[in-house]
Amino acid sequence: MATKPDSVYRGMDRKAAAIVEFTLRQYRTKNSTWVVLGVGFTALALIFMIYIAAMTDVVEAVDNDGDSYDYDNDGYPTGQEVRLGTDPFDGSSHPGLFDPPVVPDPASMYVNEDGFDWDLSASGPTATMGFDDDGDCLDENRTASQKDQNDNGIPCDILLVYYQSVLTSGGDWEVLADNGVDEDPDENEYAQEAIHVAFVLSIGKLGFVLLLGIFLP
């Protein structure tokens, strides 16, 4: 019977089989392996329970820019009055006096209405990102200088500038945002994203430690 020629794939198969055989031998001969597996399973179960509980918990919404409030008690939220050109601090000036009158918007429309729009792939000493979701920066009644308060030539964006520290190897980012861009993010969405990233990092580190515990004597 002819012998099959060696190839890269056959070499990989032999290495994989050797690793599996070594792992199974470790399972049979080392009590510490079972201890590591038991502790690892308990730790993973605990992390998953904390992760599920944190992801199902709802963070209360906060109106960061204050445009959901009715400061003059005329029944219209500030965001609607600013958008339609009436004075949000004068009770005798509101969209209800238009012909025909405008129905008040619910205050909830102006909470979490302009969240983060970040491009995490951006690199270099400067980066521009952000988008005016609710249109208060891109309002046609605003001048060009009002739309470009960070003076980078791009209306209604956020400019990030990286400054290298002269004392350490690190540095800091300075955030220069045009007024009205990404000013009212969703706290619950932000918290869940942060929790998810922390969960992925913790699982990766725990898995590395468990592998060391299995293969090292």
Provide the whole-model pTM. 0.62
Which pLDDT value is given to residue 115?
84
Report the C-alpha gap between 52 and 44 in whole angstroms. Answer: 12
Q: How confident is the model at residue 1 (pLDDT cuts 50, 70, 90)?
A: very low
Phi, then psi, of 123 in degrees rounded to 5: -145, 170
Which pLDDT value is given to residue 6?
54
Arithmetic mean of pLDDT, 124-140: 87
Arithmetic mean of pLDDT, 163-169: 80
Report the C-alpha gap between 157 and 174 in whole angstroms. Answer: 14
Report the C-alpha gap between 88 and 194 in whole angstroms. Answer: 35
Q: Tell me the pLDDT tens digit for each residue of 57-88.
A: 988 889 988 999 999 999 999 989 988 889 99
Report the C-alpha gap between 7 and 154 in whole angstroms. Answer: 57
Q: Does 103 score more than 60 pLDDT? A: yes
- Adjacent-strand bridge partners of 164: 171
Residue with tokens 């055989």: 21
Report the C-alpha gap between 135 and 47 in whole angstroms. Answer: 41
Q: Is 176 helix (H, G, I), strand (E, B) or coil?
A: strand
∠150-156-157 over CA atoms, to 5°? Answer: 70
Please state, rounded to an integer, the average pLDDT across all residues of the chain.
83
Which pLDDT value is given to residue 27?
60
Arithmetic mean of pLDDT, 161-179: 84
Cα-to-chain-centroid distance, residue 69: 26
Arithmetic mean of pLDDT, 9-19: 68
Q: Does 199 score more than 70 pLDDT? A: yes
Q: Is 175 helix (H, G, I), strand (E, B) or coil?
A: strand
